[in-house]
Structure 1
Amino acid sequence: MFRQALLGQPSPLVAALLLFHRKERRRKDTGLPHWRREKHPYYDLTVKILRARNIKGTDLLSKADCYVELRLPTASPITYRTRVIDNSSDPEWNETFHFKIHNAVKNTMELALFDEDVLISDELASVVFDVTGLKAGHPLKESFKLKEDDEELDVEFFLKKSADAPGEVITNGALVAYPCLSLQGVIKNDEMSNLREQGSNQFKISVPGAYEKQVCIPCKPESDQNCAVPFVFHIGKEMCSQLSVELERTITVQDGVSHDVEEHSTVLRSGTVPFHSLPLGKEIDLTVPLGKELSVDLRVKAEQITGDLDIRLGFDLCKEEQGFLEKRKNVVSQALKKTLKLREDPDKDEVPVVAVLGSGGGIRALTSFYGSLLGLQQLNLLDCITYLAGISGTTWCMSMLYQDSEWSCKDLRGAVINARDKISSSKVAGFSSERLKYYFQELSAMENAGRKVSFTDLWGLIVEYFLQQKVDQSKLSDQQNAVKRAQNPYPIYAAVNVRPNISGDDFAEWCEFTPFEVGFRKYGAFVRTEDFDSEFFMGRLIKKHPEPRICYLQGIWGSAFAASLDDVFLKVIGSGLTFLESLGDVVRVIDDCRRFHFRDPMRLKTRMVIPGGLLLQIFQDFFKSRVTAGETFNFMQGLYLHKDYVSLKKFVTWKGTHLDAFPNQLTPMEETLYLVDGGFSINSPFPLMLQPERDVDVILSFNYSWEAPFEVLELTQKYCKEREIPFPQINVSKEDEENPKECYVFMDAENPKTPIILHFPLVNDTFCTYKAPGVERESEEEKAFGDFEVEAKDSPYRTLNFTFEPHEFNRLVELSCYNVLNNKDAILDALRLALNRRRLKSRT
């Protein structure tokens, strides 16, 4: 029995074809598919902190002791600050700061006003000011409104064009890659004996803004004076920084009672050398004065790294995926001819792109997805599918299937039986002393190799045992063999990048994992799958780590334990801890949009941020932090946002409080990615399939969520609306919310860019009565097998249950398979409509 909620006119096929013919437009609008080189001028920016007025400090017994901090991280790694004006409500500084900025990037100044106390400085308010729109040669004085209407901060900006020649960058319109410099050097120990003093001495060498934080080099004894100790730093060519050398003395003190050993370090001498004073491509001897007639001799060489970037910047599909699509069209064309009983194979341009999406839901999702795919295979539809995308538990099913490079060409019942044996077995041995020892040996080896290790990695090893009950040495890149002839659908595994203390509903960036690439379509940044979790800076591979085994990715994809307490409340009682929102920072737009210099459409509005306070922030972090979130090296570190990134619909900059409107806080500025289960955002990988580059015509959405059968569609609709992505209107009756059917069809007959969505909630609608489409259950045993409720209170299919009895596994597989078979007509109708849309498009 086919049941659907059909949006549009009574005869959708005819109506859609007519409208498509009249309103045909190009479907593929990728914006900026490739990276390009751009030249932009430099500017000298002068910022003068004038005064503040009517400032109310945090100390009730006295007036504020104010100072201002300035940050412009796209120009300088240093945070500058004014002097402190004691006990004044109207402090006046008149201090000037200078920056050299490059016009290719989004230069956003942060001005923070502090009240200095005895123990800690309290941030009163901060202003985020986009310098885009400042006119060169025209001074601009701004009075920024702060916490109260009468509190103001006066700042004067002056921009002038630099005498330096324009600088070239590589960009895809969202991100900018500066030229990267490598500084290699050694300390010459000829005069080391003059520097040794009592205690254990060492040098600390640093370059603010460089990838390498700090290098500690011990002073050698006289016998090692001729040994040169090397160091290396990577930094952007445009970054105004300096080479800093400190001579430090460390004294070890032992407590006579407790025998505890403590080390106390003191900086004896220090000196700096401006980085821009170092010639490029030439090895030189350098003497760094340390004060009081002491110095240290260095031999250094700064050179620019040449050659192509080690990450791919662009919004198009990688060449391997494009090659797969060309091959897969032949497979799909032949399958459509057979399935739809066509006279001839459709041309390549007529072949619709069909994607199958599986939601999260732990072992319930894994089991159900096997059943859904089995149903598609029995309808001879597996070869009609181009993409297979999963999230959470569905990715576990996919990763098991793709171990066999010919899985979709074989009878899936063999894979189902193998999975049943694993899922129905006891998991107790996964926590034996021998197994725990193996876990911690693996994690220790990762940590010793310089990798970031978190609870998610331990969870990945546990999942490995649950799914395989053995060590699985396979890697995601091994699955390239499964698609090299386009013999299987193209697999896409989903995760989201979050912030440890921000709800996934407020900020989540979708990350896709494929056999060839890992990356973010939001930023148009990708790395080879073999290079994932290696260390990158400014688009350059700095340190190569081995590709992680797939079990560690399974831990990321299905990291249910990365939930915050706020997430737990949201899932358990249906609402988050809303009172926490009042404890966070307050963000207000304070632009006067009528002013002439604010009319640049690429300029971000000025925002004022009032911190929630230290105690309240601690309270908020406690409830919202994800202490178990997986950490991995951020391959976008060192890249900057393009000055026009706000024009890309992938960014939600129009929302005043959204993180997208704060470029200095976005992911490229972070050292670490926090990748977690995509279910913390949308429990289905729709955002990865709705990218225009993939040009998907039909989506089969299998929802295995516990309760909330339409939530993924409603969240996806909101996601698409914010980014102007075509998506059909989701209107579901209250009756369907309470008693969902097997299949729903959503489409937009007026917009052929909108994919056709077939949504399958996990329900026992007619399966309880029919053992096959049109075949009723007769015996008591057959009726008992089909008479169950998936979401019953005593259901074995709860998300945190990782073991099913064999009959429970079989029943869920057969239910999911039946629901597909029973809606054969709906699926075939959608394929016919998509095929005819493509035909009309190719003929106009």
Structure 2
Amino acid sequence: MWWAAVRGLPGWAVPALAAAVLWKKDKERARACKMPASWRKEMHPYYNLSVTVLRAQNIQGADLLSKADCYVQLKLPTASPLPYRTKVVYNSTDPEWNETFHYRIHGAIKNILELTLYDRDLMLDDKLSAVVFDVGSIKPGQTIRRAFKLNPKDKQVLEVEFHIEESQDPPSEIITNGVLVAHPCVCVEGKIKFDVNKEKGNYILKLSVPGSYEKLLCPPLKQSQTEEVGKFVFHADKEISPHLDVCLLKTLRTAQNDLAPELDKRTLYLGKESIPLASLPEGQETDIDLLLSKSHVVHMSMTKEESSQELDVRLGFALSQGEADFLEKRKEIIAETLKDALDLNVAPDKVPVIAVLGSGGGARAMTSFYGSLQGLQDLKLLDSITYLSGVSGSTWCMSMLYEDPDWSKKDLKEPINRAQKSVTSSKSGAFSAERLRYCTQELMALESDGCKVNFSDLWGLVLEYFLHQKDNPAKLSDQQDSVCRGQNPYPIYAGVNVRVNINGGDFAEWCEFTPYEIGFRKYGAFIRTEDFGSEFFMGHLIRRRKEPRICFLQGVWGSAFAANLDEIWTLSSGTGIRWLNSLTDVIRVIDDCRKLHFRDPTRLQTRLIMPGGFASNIFQDFFKSRFTAGELYNFTRGLYLYKDYMGVREFVAWKGNHLDAFPNLLTPMEESLYLVDGGFSINSPFPLVLQSERDVDVILSFNYSWQSPFEVLHLTSKYCKERGIPFPNITVTEADEKEPKECYVFMNADNPRVPIVLHFPLVNNTFQAYKAPGFFRETDEEKAFGGFLLREKDSPYRTKNFTYEATDFNRLVELNRYNVLNNEHTIKSALKAALDRRKKKTSYRGLKEKKNVKV
């Protein structure tokens, strides 16, 4: 069967194709994936779209000394893997083409056509302007002509005619969660034999399926006749009419690089043939002879099969079954804890959901988080917490705690003592010859397994030594043992997916890492934690790899080094490189039919992109590129955006220049993920616990950043406002911004759906005078221990410092522990208020459901 692991592949095929196609699910996976059925199947028709590029007028080329040599490129990646283009009209300001291009589009998908006007050049064609058009705005049977304005300052226009009609092809079934769409995937597996005459020479056989996962394969051919040279596998979208292209070339001299003979440019083209995959019968081996020239024949045997409808990527927004099971068990523990701590009898189904958040801040955040958690344990409230989530340095604390399946049931002094040994020990051993040799071997092993090795992997190995001083075999899925009985809070580790040339403040997609699943709640796409790092396409597992050790995930969660120069400038000066914004592409909404489509919220407005130019691209790449961002396999690759995806609150497609308004550029259309430190977006994981599915009532936010003690709240407020997520109003006085207190409470008394937020800035206020709440410092030693400045010039707590003296470590732990203990009344009052609000929330939700109104 073609889903079996392909054995005996030649060495050339290992990095190029997914050798182990694992469509058949094992029993272990079947048990682990009994997820809530939040996806659905739908039937949608096909449509035939005709696009006629008529003409352009008043075009000004990039070269001021001559008229433009124009052509138009058309890209519709949801219907064709390759772009189309018109002929070139030379030396004309008013080029006319009258060329028609045909597409078959699927009605379930958001189909966005990109029309780009180019000026032909000898070296590199100049991109003059581009129009992004939602073809879903055209009604079946309708022909419309549009004159797109290419520059608001002059009369440059591009005239295009569109016609759409329903196809005669029968409707097809898709799987969707309302954001993503999964199409049927076909897999073609084959073997090759090559007949060659007695003439000498080296031959190159190129196999490609445009739009496929594998792209291009170049097996080496040998001199002997009828020799089987290799096997191949391609995975492609059945709906885009894929075809296998076979091209034969001959090198005119012996290649210098035996591993990559296709790189030798002295080649002679011998012939090419194309095989439509639709012509191959399902599930049968087919023999095909391709006569590529008079004396060269390629014998191929191929088998085509279609994927099953069962996906390996979970599409849906419900909590994973593992998390849902945890919540049921955790409620019992929380009810008992609140009974003891608050002297209240609370039914398990009425307990509030409490989340504790730790911000980033390197070793300072890790050390501080230990102290905050110890304070909650001393108040006997640690067992009332449902979720524990962190960014960057706080995740280092979490990952070390969860190595013990019962850590929250034990005194935290022991793990704190272990952390002290790590933080106070010398870090020079991380760069010893022996350790560097070990790191090299580990990275080479990853690379040989086909993983995308990058700087974050090396950083993860460095962190492994910093935190453990030895190899740490732990994996994130091991932490299932820590929550299977509801005995500890449920851990949520944070990262964000970014673009290598866009600031995290402008675009960042939150990715959650939990013991059971890793995924994007924005897209409703999740995979098993054990499968992270494996290769996926169109929702199916293509090649499984070993789950990475947690040190490599720590390298992602704490990858602060992935900042680009513009972000570094922002951190140091408070503002970005302003003149750089003048070089970016200008995006404008040019929709002349807004009134006509005012009632259609699913339609994206037409947008004009005016490029900044070749020189500006160089500056953008230099100042905004993340040269050390961690590149990982994209498990959403090959999925499409649903036609109504904009209706999901996680998307801000209503912003004219936001990437969410360009579905052809969003993550499912990308080959790789670029996961970095969540601090590049918001330096605290608020977005991960504010999801409606988690229904959080109280958030304890511990902020360990150096500056701007309320910045994470302001950024979260903006994030929630853009997406319609309930969040309290954040009002802070100027005096508090300069001299913050230990704890702030933010809540909306009129809306029980808005969580109560308790925010703890990192401050040393009353701790200087009190060794414990209500007990003054009396001796000189006690006063010296509490009388330190956090932010002095030579502070040991600078973010880049990973080594503390024992006294400095203990001070920071005790400070954060004290700040929690000193606000016992505030915390318990918030929990009591949350109990009352949950009752109101339940009544409010029941009333709404009774009226059939969506909450």
1:149 counterpart (136, 149, 154): 154
Q: Work out the CA distance in 1 between the residues paired with 2:116 and 2:241.
A: 21
Distance 1:426 1:272, change over 3 A: same
Count matched residues.
803
Q: Offset of 1:271 from its aligned partner? A: 1.7
**Residues 66-85 of structure 1 aligned to structure 2 (within 5 Å):** 66-85=70-89
Does residue 193 of structure 1 match 2:196?
Answer: yes
Contact 1:133–1:598 (CA under 8 A) maintained in structure 2: no
Aligned AA for 1:97?
F
**1:14 aligned partner:** none
Q: Which residue of 1 aligns with 2:370?
A: 370
Question: How do 1:360-509 and structure 2 match up within 5 A?
Answer: 360-509=360-509
Residue 588 of structure 2 is aligned to residue 585 of structure 1: no
Q: Give the structure 2 partner of residue 559 of structure 1.
A: 559
- Identify the match of residue 325 of structure 1 among 324, 327, 331: 327
1:237 corresponds to: 238
- Classify the secondary structure of the residue corresponding to 1:471: coil
Inter-partner Cα distance in structure 2 for 1:585 and 1:249: 43
Describe the SS at the equivalent of 1:651.
coil
Q: Which amino acid aligns with 2:627?
A: V
Deviations 1:174-223 (A, max 9, x none): 0000011001112233xx124x7542112110000000021112223326
The 1:563–1:597 alpha-carbon spacing in structure 2 relative to 1, beyond 3 Å, is closer
Residues 321 and 640 (structure 1), Cα distance of their counterparts in 2 relative to 1, 3 Å cut: same
Find the counterpart in structure 1 of residue 129 from structure 2.
Answer: 125
Distance verdict in 2 for CA 1:841–1:217, change over 3 Å = closer
Residue pairs, 1:725-804, within 5 angstroms = 725-804=725-804
In the alignment, is the contact (CA less than 8 A) between 2:117 and 2:130 conserved in 1?
Answer: yes
Pairwise CA distance, 1:150: 0.3
In 2: Cα distance, 1:262 partner to 1:483 partner: 52
Contact 2:184–2:309 at 8 Å: present in 1 too?
Answer: no
For residue 41 of structure 2, the aligned residue among 37, 40, 53 is 37
CA deviations 1:603-631 (Å, max 9, x no partner) are 10000101111221111110111101101
Instruction: Tell me what 1:5 maps to.
Output: none
Alignment of 1:223-302 (within 5 A): 225-227=226-228, 229-252=230-253, 263-266=264-267, 267-290=269-292, 295-302=297-304
1:230 Cα deviation from its structure 2 partner: 1.7
Q: 1:276 to 1:816 in 2, by over 3 A?
A: same
Greater length-normalized contact order (CA 8 Å, ≥ 6 residues apart): 1
- Determine if the alignment matches structure 1 residue 97 to structure 2 residue 97: no
**1:202 maps to which residue?**
204
Give the drift of 1:288: 3.5
TM-score by length of 1: 0.93
Note the residue ranges of structure 1 that are not aligned, 5 or more in a row: 1-31, 256-260
Change (3 A) 1:559 1:594: closer
Q: 1:174 aligns with which of 176, 179, 182?
A: 179
Equivalence for 2:213: 211
Are 1:723 and 2:726 counterparts?
A: no
- Matched AA of 2:143: P
Contact 2:535–2:544, Cα closer than 8 Å, also in 1: yes
After TM superposition, give the deviation of residue 513 of structure 1 in Å.
0.1
Query: How high is the TM-score relative to the length of structure 2?
Result: 0.92
Retained in 1: the 8 A contact 2:270–2:293?
Answer: no
Matches of 1:243 and 1:644, distance apart in 2: 33
* Separation of aligned partners in 2, 1:601 and 1:835: 38
Distance 1:515 1:632 in 2: 19
Who is 2:538 aligned against?
Answer: 538
What CA distance in whole angstroms lies between the structure 1 residues aligned with 2:180 and 2:544? 23
Measured against aligned partners, the alpha-carbon deviations of 1:659-681 in whole angstroms (never above 9, x if no partner) come to 00000000000010000000010
- Residues 196 and 295, structure 2, Cα contact 8 Å, conserved in 1: no
Distance 1:377 1:228, change over 3 A: same
- Match of 1:337, SS state, is helix
* Structure 1 residue 165 corresponds to structure 2 residue 149: no
**Secondary structure of the corresponding residue to residue 196 of structure 2:** helix
- 3-state SS of the aligned residue for 2:247? strand
Code of the aligned partner of 2:288:
L
> What percentage of residue pairs aligned between the two structures are identical?
60
Letter in 2 for 1:603: R
- Is residue 818 of structure 2 the alignment partner of residue 814 of structure 1? no
8 Å contact 1:505–1:680 — kept in the other structure?
A: yes
> Measured at CA, do residues 292 and 615 of structure 1 come closer, stay the same or move farther in structure 2, by a change above 3 Å?
farther
Query: What CA RMSD, in Å, does the superposition of the two structures yield over aligned residues?
Result: 1.7
> 1:277 is aligned with what amino acid?
S
Residue 227 of structure 1 aligns to a residue whose secondary structure is strand
Task: Provide the rounded CA distance (Å) in 2 between the counterparts of 1:73 and 1:381.
Answer: 53
> Contact 1:134–1:597 (CA<8 Å) still a contact in 2?
no
For the residue of structure 2 that corresponds to 1:512, the secondary structure is strand
Query: Which string of whole-angstrom CA distances, capped at 9 and with x for unpartnered residues, describes residues 671-721 of structure 1?
Result: 100000000100000000000000000000000011110000000000000
Contact kept? 1:354, 1:696, Cα under 8 Å: yes
Q: Which residue in the other structure is 1:13 paired with?
A: none
The structural deviation recorded for 1:441 is 1.2
What SS is found at the alignment partner of 1:655? coil
Are 1:333 and 1:351, in contact at CA under 8 Å, matched by a contact in 2? Answer: yes
Tell me the CA shift for residue 121 of structure 1: 0.3
CA contact (8 A) 1:85 1:92 kept: yes
Pair 1:794–1:639, CA change in 2 (3 A): same
| Residues 405-464 of structure 1 deviation map (CA, whole Å, 9 limit, x = unaligned) | 110000001111110011001101111111111111111111111000111100000000
Tell me the distance in 2 between the aligned counterparts of 1:528 and 1:250: 46
Match of 2:18 in 1: none
Taking the aligned partners of 1:212 and 1:285, their CA distance within structure 2 comes to 22
Q: By how many angstroms is 1:295 displaced?
A: 4.5
**How far apart are 1:735 and its partner, in Å?**
0.5
Within a 5 Å distance, the mapping from 1:541-690 to structure 2 comes to: 541-594=541-594, 596=596, 600-690=600-690
Q: Displacement, 1:137?
A: 1.2
Cα deviation code 1:140-172 (max 9, x no counterpart):
111111024300001111101100000111000
The 1:33–1:123 alpha-carbon spacing in structure 2 relative to 1, beyond 3 Å, is: farther
How far apart, CA to CA, are the structure 2 residues paired with 1:703 and 1:775? 25
Change over 3 Å in CA distance of 1:162–1:295 after alignment to 2: farther
Are residues 33 and 282 of structure 1, via their aligned partners in 2, closer, same or farther at CA, if it must alter by over 3 Å? closer
Alpha-carbon contact 2:222-2:229 (below 8 Å) kept: no
Seen in structure 2, the aligned counterparts of structure 1 residues 623 and 304 have a Cα distance that, compared at 3 Å, is same
Range moving further from structure 2, 658-667 or 301-310: 301-310
Q: Does the 8 Å contact 1:113/1:124 carry over to 2?
A: yes
The structural deviation recorded for 1:241 is 2.6
Question: Conserved in 2, the CA contact under 8 Å of 1:180 and 1:538?
Answer: yes
User: What is the SS of the residue equivalent to 2:649?
Assistant: coil
C-alpha change, 1:265 and 1:387, in structure 2 (3 Å) is farther
- Measure, in 1, the Cα distance between the counterparts of 2:341 and 2:365: 27
| Per-residue Cα deviation, 1:351-393 (whole angstroms, up to 9, x for no partner) | 0000000000000000000000000000000000000000000
- Mapped to 2, the partners of 1:160 and 1:213 lie a distance apart of 32
Where 2:249 maps in the other structure, the secondary structure is strand
Q: CA deviation at 1:277?
A: 2.7
Q: Distance in 2 between matches of 1:595 and 1:766?
A: 60
Task: Give secondary structure in 2 for the equivalent of 1:201.
Answer: strand
Unmatched 5+ stretches in structure 2? 1-35, 257-261, 847-855
Partners of 2:418 and 2:557 lie apart in 1 by: 22
1:22 is matched with which residue? none
